[in-house]
Structure 1
Amino acid sequence: MQRTTRILPIAVMLLMPALAAAQETFKLDPQSDYRHRGEDWPTVKCTRYRQAWQEATTRQGMRGLGAEFLENHRLFLESNCLENRRVCPVSPEEFNLANTLILLGMNRGMSGTFFPFSCKKDGEGGKMIAPQGSATPGTTN
Structure 2
Amino acid sequence: MILRSLLCAALIVGLKPELVRASETPTAWQLAKCRFYEETWRDMLTHFGPGALSDGFIDQNERFIAAHCLERIEVCPKSEHDLAVANALTLGTMNGDVGGTFLPFRCD
TM-score normalized by structure 2? 0.71
1:84 and 2:92 equivalent?
no
* Equivalent in 25, 35, 41 of residue 53 of structure 1: 41
Per the alignment, residue 115 of structure 1 pairs with 103
Q: Percent identity?
A: 35
Higher percent of residues as helix: 2
The RMSD of aligned alpha carbons is 1.2
Structure 2 distance, partners of 1:57, 1:69, is 11
Instruction: Show structure 1 runs of 5+ residues with no match.
Output: 1-38, 121-141
Instruction: Show structure 2 runs of 5+ residues with no match.
Output: 1-26
Kindly name which structure, 1 or 2, has the bigger radius of gyration based on alpha carbons.
1
Structure 2 distance, partners of 1:70, 1:58, is 13
Per the alignment, residue 95 of structure 1 pairs with 83
C-alpha deviation, 1:63, in angstroms = 2.5
* Equivalent in 37, 42, 49 of residue 30 of structure 2: 42
Structure 1's consecutive aligned runs of 4 or more residues displaced over 6 angstroms after TM superposition are: none
TM-score normalized by structure 1? 0.55
C-alpha deviation, 1:64, in angstroms = 2.7
Per the alignment, residue 106 of structure 1 pairs with 94
Deviations 1:14-37 (A, max 9, x none): xxxxxxxxxxxxxxxxxxxxxxxx
C-alpha deviation, 1:76, in angstroms = 0.4
* Residue identity opposite 2:61 in structure 1: H
Per the alignment, residue 61 of structure 2 pairs with 73
Tell me whether 67-76 or 99-108 shows the greater mean CA deviation.
67-76
Q: SS of the counterpart of 2:101?
A: coil
Bigger relative contact order (CA 8 A; separation at least 6): 2
C-alpha deviation, 1:118, in angstroms = 0.6
Aligned length: 82
